[in-house]
Amino acid sequence: MRESRYRSLLTDTLWRRNLWMAVALLLATSNLGLAYWVLNTDMREKTIVVPPSFEKTFWVHGDEVSPEYLEQMAVYFAGLALTYNPDNIGHQVNRFLRYADPESYGALAARLEGDTQKIQRNRLSSVFYPQEVRLKGEQAILAGQLTTLVGNKQTEQRQARFLIRFTYRDGRLFVSQFTEVQDSENPFALGAGSARPES
């Protein structure tokens, strides 16, 4: 009788052991599957942004940005670089340089500071009215009407086209180039250039 009881207890113990081993194996398998999923799944957050000063929503996802973001930032930077007067040009330049690519910062800053002195000395003003934005990768061509004034007198009004090259890294958008282009056939082919066209 004792022997049958011990055999029953042994059978019960072995059954429980096998059950817990199966549960442990199942948990280990699910953990391995979860680890594989975590390592192979894009976990970067995609953020939809609707800033109050912009007209369209845009997204930023890892190292990528939506075309709408580049388009609206191109208009923003053109406003900083091309719409100014002698009293606000220093502020405009400081805001623009916050977004300058560190690799291009020296050249952009030197050019903009030189332009600032010329603008203040000659009492120049400028207004740019964007009419079209074309994108190619992280580059934008912005076309519109550029009006230049000396004091209160308008001296020039013309159609102009500007190339803006962006660099997006570490969650920030930088401007690496901002220059006027003349080639209407292939405006994206321009090499390194200036931060602002000659006044």
> Is-contact 97 112, C-beta < 8 A?
yes
Which residue, chain included where needed, has tokens 């580049």? 70
Q: Count how many residues are written for the chain.
A: 199
Q: What is the DSSP letter of 44?
A: P
pLDDT at 7: 76
Is this prediction's pTM over 0.85? no
Dist. CA 81–CA 198, nearest whole Å: 12
Which residue, chain included where needed, has tokens 């086209």? 161
pLDDT at 74: 92
> Is-contact 149 155, C-beta < 8 A?
yes
Count of Cβ atoms closer than 10 Å to residue 69 Cβ = 21
Which residue, chain included where needed, has tokens 């191109």? 74
Domain ranges across the chain? 1-41, 46-189
**Amino acid at site 135:** L
What's the average pLDDT block by block, 10 residues per block, for the chain (199 residues)?
74 87 91 83 58 64 83 91 94 92 92 92 94 92 94 91 90 89 68 41
Dist. CA 50–CA 59, nearest whole Å: 9
Looking at domain 46-189, which of 3.30.2130.10, 3.90.1300.10, 3.30.565.10, 3.10.450.230 is its CATH number?
Answer: 3.10.450.230
* Strand arrangement of the beta sheet that strand 64-65 belongs to: 46-49, 58-61, 64-65
Dist. CA 63–CA 44, nearest whole Å: 9
Nearest to 157, CA basis, from 165, 146, 169: 146
